[in-house]
Structure 1
Amino acid sequence: MKFSFIFPGQGSQAIGMGKEIYENFNDAKELLHNASDALSVDFKKLLFEENELINQSEFTQPAIVLNSLMCYLALKSKLNLEPNFSLGHSLGEFSALAVNSGFDFVDALKVVNIRGKLMQEACNGKDVSMMVVLGLNDQIVEEICVGAQKDGLQIYAANYNCDGQIVVAGVREHLAKFESVFKEAGAKRAMLLNMSVASHCPILSSASIGLVSHLEATLKDKFKSVISNATAKPYSSKNEALNLLKDQLVKPVLYKQSIQNSQSEIDIFVEFGSSVLKGINKKITNKPTYSVTDIKSLDEFLVFLEGK
């Protein structure tokens, strides 16, 4: 069987995530402690105790990547499964790179901590947000966004999740004005999200530029194939990654296209750290997706593999 490993992005965080994995797998526990020391963040408290920091980008991003990597290490302790390629949704691309030897694990956590800070700084003083649009095809959403931009408004297609589900990003006031426009065009729903950053659009230009030096210092020269959010195509070298990860912050996430382009090459998708992408994948592909989030889901996946 051929596998693709997939990794969730921001929005998948929850208090308590990874707790069972941390308590039962030594490699996961060691990674959390090493990350806490390296980043001067108490990840045990951040992940497992009620707190407000979990929803601040500079902490959210390493928390999500750490949880994904701990779940990956739990599977690896049971079975050394090699993916044909890996991919992630937005932030999840960094988890994919870490698992595919593009980053050392702790370096990946340092980079996404900085990435979160840079994204927040790029949006400071700007009342920005994101909006999910349901029930419209891609072209209609794109046409509405382009029309708004011609009128001087900041609204951009940001995440192509699946057919009939696109997230747009921009200035909150501009997005709010266009709720009714999307609905009049046939959207079943257009809903503002509780976000303080506008991801994957030109508003993050300064963050995109600022990230490059940190990528230069930490990326490996060569690694196993990862699919780019920006192009929906695979890459496997530092030179490619520097440009693609820079572009990723200001260009839309082509998640749907990435799954469609790659599904013929694999038999099973395996998600680490959440079940968000598992739900989205059901709307994109008939290939099964298993998620590894705790001992029960890990055991279910192992039982499935034993039966094959």
Structure 2
Amino acid sequence: MNYTFIFPGQGSQSLGMGKDFYENSKSAKELLDHASDFLKINFKHLLFEENDDLNKSQFTQPAILLTSLMAYNTLNELEPNLKAKISLGHSLGEFSALAISGGLDFLEALKLVHQRGLFMQEDCAKIEAGMMVVLGLDDESIEKLCEKARVENKQIFAANYNCEGQIVIAGLKADLLSYENEFKNAGAKRAMLLNMSVASHCPLLENASLKLYKELEKVLKPNFQTIISNVNAKPYSSKEEALNLLKAQLVFPVLYKQSIKTIENETSYFIEFGSKILQGLNKKITTKPTYSLTNLNEIETFLKEIKS
């Protein structure tokens, strides 16, 4: 069996995520406690109690990555010999993939994405940035409308290629709203502004990408297991490649559906850690099954199924 491990990105957060792992897995509990001490963030409060921080990028990103790593640790505790041939993530999830593939220490990965969230928030704080999901339009039509908008001096860019008929665009919130009817008139079933205060994966994050590069230089390992890049949907496994690809990742679109297509013929199962978001997308991209592991029971059920 060939497994591909996949990891969700920003937007997959929810109150209570990871709690089952924390309560039922020694290694997951230890990781959360160590992360809280290392980053001086109360992750028990952030993940399990009502608060205003979970949707702020500098907290959202380490919270999601931590939940994914807790899920991974729990699986590893029960079945240490189950390894992935290749890993990938959606946006932020690429850093989770790096962590489990030996490219980053777990705690350093959490610190890095906390900084990444801060850099992104800083770039977007004064410009009223946002993101919008467009449903029911093909890639080419959306790309042409984004180009048309930029000719009109509007800041609108294709940001996430999630699956057929679903692209997320990024830019200035006012510009996105001004083009809502343009997308609908072109045939979109829906064009809806998302609850986000950053414009990920577009040129508005140029400064953030430069800052991130400097932090990546400090913590990336020289070599690691193969990762599929969000930027070009191609494999990489070295620090030299990672530095340029992860810097570019903040200003180039996420090629998620293309990445899944790249490796589906080499994959028996996709396994998603800590969320069901990518499982939903994968159903629209590939016929290969995706297992989502969001609690201990799902891990135990998954292990029984692959052994039967």
Match of 1:66 in 2: 66
Q: Distance in 2 between matches of 1:268 and 1:60?
A: 28
Q: Distance in 2 between matches of 1:213 and 1:46?
A: 28
1:124 is displaced (CA, Å) by 1.1
Tell me whether 1:228 sits opposite 2:240 in the alignment. Answer: no
1:141 is displaced (CA, Å) by 0.2
Equivalent positions of 1:106-145 (< 5 A) are 106-145=107-146
Match of 2:294 in 1: 293
How many correspondences in the alignment? 307
Q: Distance in 2 between matches of 1:50 and 1:122?
A: 27
1:95 is displaced (CA, Å) by 0.2
Equivalent positions of 1:89-238 (< 5 A) are 89-238=90-239
Q: Distance in 1 between matches of 2:179 and 2:51?
A: 34
The list of structure 1 runs, each at least 4 consecutive aligned residues, that deviate by more than 3 angstroms after superposition, is none
Q: Distance in 2 between matches of 1:303 and 1:119?
A: 41
Tell me the alpha carbon deviations over residues 192-242 of structure 1, each in whole angstroms, 9 at most, x when there is no partner. 111100000000000000101110111000000000000100100000000
Give the unaligned 5+ runs of structure 2: none
Q: Distance in 1 between matches of 2:128 and 2:55?
A: 17
Match of 2:256 in 1: 255
Q: Distance in 1 between matches of 2:20 and 2:197?
A: 30
TM-score if structure 1 supplies the norm length? 0.99
1:182 is displaced (CA, Å) by 0.3
Q: Distance in 1 between matches of 2:97 and 2:279?
A: 16
Q: Distance in 1 between matches of 2:154 and 2:185?
A: 19
Match of 2:32 in 1: 32
Q: Distance in 2 between matches of 1:150 and 1:208?
A: 25
Q: Distance in 2 between matches of 1:54 and 1:120?
A: 14
Q: Distance in 2 between matches of 1:238 and 1:33?
A: 29
Q: Distance in 2 between matches of 1:300 and 1:144?
A: 45
TM-score if structure 2 supplies the norm length? 0.99
Q: Distance in 1 between matches of 2:278 and 2:195?
A: 20
Match of 2:22 in 1: 22
Tell me whether 1:57 sits opposite 2:57 in the alignment. Answer: yes
Q: Distance in 2 between matches of 1:134 and 1:238?
A: 36
CA RMSD of aligned residues (A): 0.6
Q: Distance in 2 between matches of 1:218 and 1:8?
A: 22
Q: Distance in 1 between matches of 2:128 and 2:30?
A: 39
SS across alignment from 1:55 = coil
Q: Distance in 1 between matches of 2:244 and 2:147?
A: 25
Matching residue's letter, 1:279: G
SS across alignment from 1:53 = coil
Matching residue's letter, 2:169: V
1:132 is displaced (CA, Å) by 0.3
Matching residue's letter, 1:112: V
